[in-house]
Structure 1
Amino acid sequence: MFKFRNGLNSIDWVRPPPHCSSLSQPGPAQGIRGHKRRLSVQAPTNCAHRENFFTNRVIREWNSLAEAAISASTVNQFKNSLDAWK
Protein backbone atom coordinates (compact mmCIF):
# COMPACT_ATOMS: atom_id res chain seq x y z
CA MET A 1 0.00 0.00 0.00
CA PHE A 2 2.95 2.32 0.71
CA LYS A 3 4.10 2.18 -2.91
CA PHE A 4 0.62 2.93 -4.24
CA ARG A 5 0.00 5.81 -1.83
CA ASN A 6 3.36 7.42 -2.68
CA GLY A 7 3.16 6.98 -6.45
CA LEU A 8 5.94 4.40 -6.77
CA ASN A 9 3.53 1.92 -8.38
CA SER A 10 0.36 2.82 -10.20
CA ILE A 11 -3.01 1.14 -10.45
CA ASP A 12 -5.87 2.10 -12.72
CA TRP A 13 -8.49 1.96 -9.97
CA VAL A 14 -12.11 1.53 -10.96
CA ARG A 15 -12.95 2.83 -7.49
CA PRO A 16 -9.95 3.84 -5.39
CA PRO A 17 -10.22 3.09 -1.67
CA PRO A 18 -11.81 6.14 -0.01
CA HIS A 19 -10.12 8.05 2.77
CA CYS A 20 -11.52 7.22 6.16
CA SER A 21 -13.51 9.92 7.89
CA SER A 22 -12.58 10.36 11.52
CA LEU A 23 -16.29 10.40 12.35
CA SER A 24 -16.83 6.93 10.91
CA GLN A 25 -14.47 5.19 13.34
CA PRO A 26 -16.03 3.08 16.09
CA GLY A 27 -15.31 3.80 19.73
CA PRO A 28 -15.11 6.99 21.76
CA ALA A 29 -11.62 8.12 20.77
CA GLN A 30 -11.04 6.51 17.38
CA GLY A 31 -11.65 9.80 15.58
CA ILE A 32 -8.52 11.35 17.08
CA ARG A 33 -6.21 8.34 16.98
CA GLY A 34 -4.26 6.94 14.08
CA HIS A 35 -2.57 8.57 11.12
CA LYS A 36 -4.11 10.94 8.61
CA ARG A 37 -3.84 8.52 5.68
CA ARG A 38 -6.37 5.98 6.92
CA LEU A 39 -8.52 4.25 4.31
CA SER A 40 -11.99 2.70 4.45
CA VAL A 41 -12.63 -0.99 3.88
CA GLN A 42 -15.28 -1.82 1.30
CA ALA A 43 -18.58 -2.79 2.84
CA PRO A 44 -19.25 -6.55 2.90
CA THR A 45 -21.60 -7.81 0.23
CA ASN A 46 -23.07 -11.13 -0.78
CA CYS A 47 -19.97 -11.72 -2.90
CA ALA A 48 -17.47 -13.79 -0.93
CA HIS A 49 -14.71 -13.00 -3.43
CA ARG A 50 -14.72 -9.34 -2.40
CA GLU A 51 -13.29 -10.32 1.00
CA ASN A 52 -10.08 -11.37 -0.78
CA PHE A 53 -9.57 -8.12 -2.69
CA PHE A 54 -6.18 -6.53 -2.13
CA THR A 55 -7.63 -3.47 -0.43
CA ASN A 56 -9.77 -5.47 1.98
CA ARG A 57 -6.79 -7.61 2.96
CA VAL A 58 -4.34 -4.79 3.66
CA ILE A 59 -6.34 -1.74 4.78
CA ARG A 60 -6.81 -2.91 8.38
CA GLU A 61 -3.06 -3.45 8.70
CA TRP A 62 -2.36 -0.12 6.96
CA ASN A 63 -4.68 1.76 9.32
CA SER A 64 -3.02 0.24 12.37
CA LEU A 65 0.53 1.30 11.39
CA ALA A 66 2.36 4.04 13.25
CA GLU A 67 2.64 7.54 11.79
CA ALA A 68 6.43 7.11 11.45
CA ALA A 69 5.98 4.18 9.07
CA ILE A 70 3.29 5.89 7.01
CA SER A 71 5.22 9.14 6.60
CA ALA A 72 8.49 7.46 5.54
CA SER A 73 9.99 9.00 2.42
CA THR A 74 11.60 5.85 0.99
CA VAL A 75 10.71 2.19 0.81
CA ASN A 76 13.70 1.25 2.99
CA GLN A 77 12.64 3.72 5.69
CA PHE A 78 9.14 2.25 5.53
CA LYS A 79 10.49 -1.30 5.87
CA ASN A 80 12.69 -0.34 8.82
CA SER A 81 9.77 1.41 10.54
CA LEU A 82 7.58 -1.61 9.87
CA ASP A 83 10.17 -3.96 11.39
CA ALA A 84 10.49 -1.71 14.45
CA TRP A 85 6.69 -1.51 14.79
CA LYS A 86 6.23 -5.29 14.79
Structure 2
Amino acid sequence: MRRRLATEHTGYHALREQCLAEAAQRCLRESDWPVARIAAHLGFGGEEAFRRAFVRWTGVAPSRFRRDRTASNHPVSSDMKRDADA
Protein backbone atom coordinates (compact mmCIF):
# COMPACT_ATOMS: atom_id res chain seq x y z
CA MET A 1 0.00 0.00 0.00
CA ARG A 2 2.81 2.39 0.87
CA ARG A 3 4.40 1.88 -2.55
CA ARG A 4 1.11 2.47 -4.32
CA LEU A 5 0.54 5.68 -2.39
CA ALA A 6 4.08 6.78 -3.24
CA THR A 7 3.39 6.31 -6.95
CA GLU A 8 0.37 8.60 -6.48
CA HIS A 9 2.63 11.12 -4.69
CA THR A 10 0.68 10.92 -1.45
CA GLY A 11 0.82 9.11 1.86
CA TYR A 12 -1.53 7.52 4.35
CA HIS A 13 -1.78 10.66 6.50
CA ALA A 14 -2.64 12.89 3.53
CA LEU A 15 -5.22 10.41 2.25
CA ARG A 16 -6.79 10.13 5.72
CA GLU A 17 -6.93 13.93 6.03
CA GLN A 18 -8.57 14.23 2.61
CA CYS A 19 -11.21 11.64 3.53
CA LEU A 20 -11.93 13.33 6.86
CA ALA A 21 -12.19 16.75 5.22
CA GLU A 22 -14.64 15.46 2.61
CA ALA A 23 -16.72 13.62 5.22
CA ALA A 24 -16.81 16.70 7.47
CA GLN A 25 -17.98 18.92 4.63
CA ARG A 26 -20.65 16.39 3.65
CA CYS A 27 -21.92 16.15 7.23
CA LEU A 28 -22.11 19.93 7.53
CA ARG A 29 -23.93 20.28 4.20
CA GLU A 30 -26.31 17.34 4.46
CA SER A 31 -27.20 17.05 8.14
CA ASP A 32 -28.50 19.20 10.93
CA TRP A 33 -26.16 17.55 13.46
CA PRO A 34 -24.42 19.86 15.90
CA VAL A 35 -20.71 20.34 15.24
CA ALA A 36 -19.88 18.38 18.41
CA ARG A 37 -21.76 15.34 17.08
CA ILE A 38 -19.98 15.55 13.72
CA ALA A 39 -16.65 15.77 15.54
CA ALA A 40 -17.45 12.63 17.55
CA HIS A 41 -18.79 10.82 14.48
CA LEU A 42 -15.50 11.45 12.66
CA GLY A 43 -13.41 10.30 15.62
CA PHE A 44 -12.13 13.61 16.97
CA GLY A 45 -11.40 13.92 20.67
CA GLY A 46 -13.53 17.03 20.93
CA GLU A 47 -15.23 19.84 19.11
CA GLU A 48 -12.21 22.17 19.38
CA ALA A 49 -9.85 19.62 17.78
CA PHE A 50 -12.34 19.18 14.95
CA ARG A 51 -12.70 22.94 14.53
CA ARG A 52 -8.93 23.43 14.26
CA ALA A 53 -8.64 20.64 11.68
CA PHE A 54 -11.57 21.99 9.69
CA VAL A 55 -10.09 25.49 9.59
CA ARG A 56 -6.78 23.96 8.43
CA TRP A 57 -8.58 22.08 5.63
CA THR A 58 -10.91 24.82 4.42
CA GLY A 59 -9.81 28.15 5.86
CA VAL A 60 -13.16 28.70 7.59
CA ALA A 61 -14.81 27.51 10.80
CA PRO A 62 -17.37 24.67 10.55
CA SER A 63 -20.22 26.95 11.62
CA ARG A 64 -19.35 29.49 8.94
CA PHE A 65 -18.98 26.76 6.30
CA ARG A 66 -22.44 25.47 7.16
CA ARG A 67 -23.98 28.93 7.21
CA ASP A 68 -22.37 29.90 3.88
CA ARG A 69 -23.31 26.63 2.18
CA THR A 70 -26.89 26.56 3.41
CA ALA A 71 -27.76 30.25 3.07
CA SER A 72 -29.55 29.68 -0.23
CA ASN A 73 -31.34 26.51 0.84
CA HIS A 74 -32.29 24.80 4.06
CA PRO A 75 -30.11 21.95 5.35
CA VAL A 76 -31.50 18.53 4.71
CA SER A 77 -32.43 16.80 7.93
CA SER A 78 -30.79 13.58 6.88
CA ASP A 79 -30.90 10.36 8.78
CA MET A 80 -27.18 9.88 9.17
CA LYS A 81 -27.77 7.53 12.13
CA ARG A 82 -27.25 4.66 9.72
CA ASP A 83 -23.68 5.91 9.09
CA ALA A 84 -23.06 6.46 12.80
CA ASP A 85 -24.12 2.92 13.64
CA ALA A 86 -21.87 1.37 10.99
- The structure with the greater share of residues assigned to helix is 2
TM-score (norm 1): 0.27
TM-score (norm 2): 0.27
